[in-house]
Every structure is written in structure tokens, then in C-alpha cells.
Amino acid sequence: MTDLLRRRLLFVTGKGGVGKTTVAAALGLLASQQGLRTLVCEVEPKGDLSFAYECGTTPFHGRDVAANLKAMSMDTEASLREYLHHVAKVPVLGRISPVARAFDFIATAAPGIREILTMGKLCFEVREKHYDLVVVDASATGNVVGQLAAPTGINELVRVGVVRSQTEWMLEILRDPSVTGVVLVTTPEEMPVSEAIDLAGRLAEETPVHLACVIANRVLPELFGRAEEQVFDELSTSSEIDALARQLGAPPNDVAAVFAAARLAVTIRRDGSAHLERLRSAVGAETPLLYLPYLFARAHGMRAIRQVAQSLGEEL
């Protein structure tokens, strides 16, 4: 597993709300702490990355977040501009804006145009060796396949033209499992796990990119060992609770509430374990499955990112 960060391009995805951005931000931070020049890119510029790093907006050209660490948000118009300028050498920079708008329009219809601009920018950063590692906070499970499959799809659609000629080198980067990988994030809940299983299958069938690892985020700690659970069960009877309440001089209902809270914690954890087992058997033993603990204290911001980065470091 130690080779996860030795790859050059990591796409972090998962169902919306499972902590994709947190994991991407933490992976980036961890890599930068290990001395790798790292870029973290948010594909959907919703501002989640700047929220995670508490760093203000993350523009297309990147913002320094920490030593070795830059954060950026994807902007397909800017990507097109950069592309036309550097690669296609099209001399229309002054009029790029209406052109880009027209592209935007075409992109709503033609498959993969917007995605290819996104993938192109990311692969370009890898190819030019501007960074040792590019971590992508990619789209959620519903859209990420289209993104990753864009270079393949564009080959079929665009028969000639600059875009077509560009897809070959991108595919080379994407196909190589030692260079590119998908980090699939889930939480121990029903829908996120189902979507993760589904996506793992679609990645293999429809995209050139390999699954590098699965990360189960927000895993609750095991509350009781087996002997302890038995004691807990015995203590949970109303007569024991009443006795305990008398000993403490507290209202029995309050004591019962403490037990009920623990029961709920046990239930949530047990439901979660069942989902993770389902995930485990679906993705197979060859795919590493990492666990990140539930953060009770703080769910967001740089402090949380540091904690997650540390846990990731321990898991890797």
C-alpha cells in the first residue's frame, strides 16, 4: 500500500457526502509532508476544497496551501484557453471568451468535450512534471465514469482535429496502474457502499483507469469487546439501571439514556460493519481497503484534514 503516493495521478471519488474532498485534501497534505510536490485539484468548483484547507478561493492557476502543496479548482474555459495557447497555438486569445462560450454550449451536447478539457489539464500537469503527485477531488460516482472515460470516448467521436491527436498520450498516462489510480471513498452505510461496489465494476469495464484502493471513511470505533458486551447487556436491564441510578443518586431515566446512547452507538457500528463486509467481498482481496476513523471532535477545516492525513499515513 505504501506505493499509493508513488503514483503520479490519483482520482478520489465516491458518493456525494462521504468525505471525498476531505480524503483528497488529506492525501494531498500527507504527500506534501513527505516532501512530494503536490497539486490538489477540485474538479467541480463548489469551493469544498477551499473550505477544507481554509485557504480562500482556489483559482485555476493554483494557490499555495502549505510547503509543497498547491490547490486549484478546475475551470474548463481556462483549461481551453491554456490548451489553445500552449498546444494548438491558436492566435485568438483576445476573442477567446465568446469562443469558450460556444465550446461550453457544444460541450453540453457532444460527449466528453468538457471532460476532455478537465482530463487534459490534469494529464498535462503530470506529463510536464510540474508536480510529483496530482490528487484530484473528482466528480461523485454518478459522473466520474464519464470523466475518466472521456479520452477513450473522444477517439470515437472526433475523427480528426487537435483534440483527437491529444488523446493518445493521455491514455498512456491513465492506463498505467503505476502512474494513475482511483481512490474510491465510501462510508459504512448502505447507499455509499452500494454505489462504491457499482462504481468499482464500471471503472474496470468502461474506463482505462485502475482502482488503487478503497477507503472506508467515518468508521466508528468498536465500543465493547465480547466480554464487555455481555456485561453491557446484563447492566442494561431495567432493574440494574435502577440499582445503578440509586447508587449514583441520579434519575433512572438519565442513566437509561446513557445506556440507550451506547446501544445506538453499537447498532450504528454493527450496521456499518455489515456494509463494509459486503464491500470487502465485492471488491476482492487484491484491492486494499483502508479505514479512517470517525472524527467526533471536528468534522471540518484544516485541523480535521491534518488528523485524517495522519490516520491515512498510519494506514498506508
Partner 1 sequence: MAPASGPQRSSERERQIEQLLAAKEVVVACGPGGVGKTTSAAALAATAAARVGGRVLVVTVDPARRLADALGLAGLGNSATRVPDEAFRDAGVQPKGELYAAMVDMSESWDALVKRHAPDAKTAGQILANPLYQNITGRFAQGHDYIAMERLYELHEEGSYDLLVVDTPPSRNALDLLDAPSHMADFFSSRLLRWLTVPYRSRLVNLASRPFYQVADRVLGSQLLQDLADFFILFQTMRDGFVARAEAVNRLLRDVRTTFMLVTTLEAVPAREAQEMTQALVDRRLHLGLLVCNKVLPPALSDPAVAKVADRLGSGAEELGGPLAAKLKGGEPPEVVAAVLGELAQSFSNFRLVANREAELLRELAAVHDLSATVGYQAGNITDLAGLLRIGAAIWGDAEEAEATTPARRTRRTRAPSGRARAKPAADTTDNTDNTDNTDNTDNTDNTDNTKET
Sheet-wide strand order for 69-73: 63-66, 69-73, 38-42, 133-137, 9-14, 180-186, 211-219, 289-293
For residue 16, report the phi and psi dihedrals to the nearest 5 degrees.
-55, 135
User: Could you tell me the three cell numbers for 24?
Assistant: 483528497
Nearer of residues 169 and 224 to partner 1, judged by Cβ: 224
Q: Residue 113 CB, nearest distance to partner 1 (Å)?
A: 8
Q: Residue 238 CB, nearest distance to partner 1 (Å)?
A: 9
Nearer of residues 8 and 15 to partner 1, judged by Cβ: 15
Nearer of residues 15 and 210 to partner 1, judged by Cβ: 15
Q: Residue 35 CB, nearest distance to partner 1 (Å)?
A: 31
Nearer of residues 6 and 101 to partner 1, judged by Cβ: 101
Q: Residue 73 CB, nearest distance to partner 1 (Å)?
A: 14
CA angle 11, 138, 62 (to 5 degrees): 95
Compute CA 159 distance to the chain's CA centroid, rounded to the nearest angstrom.
33
Q: Residue 244 CB, nearest distance to partner 1 (Å)?
A: 7
**Gap between the Cα atoms of 139 and 147, Å rounded:** 8
Q: Residue 57 CB, nearest distance to partner 1 (Å)?
A: 16
77's CB contacts (< 8 A; 6+ apart) are 97, 100, 103, 104
User: Could you tell me the three cell numbers for 179?
Assistant: 502512474
Nearer of residues 109 and 285 to partner 1, judged by Cβ: 109
Pairing of strands 133-137, 211-219: unpaired
Nearer of residues 227 and 285 to partner 1, judged by Cβ: 227
**Gap between the Cα atoms of 94 and 27, Å rounded:** 38
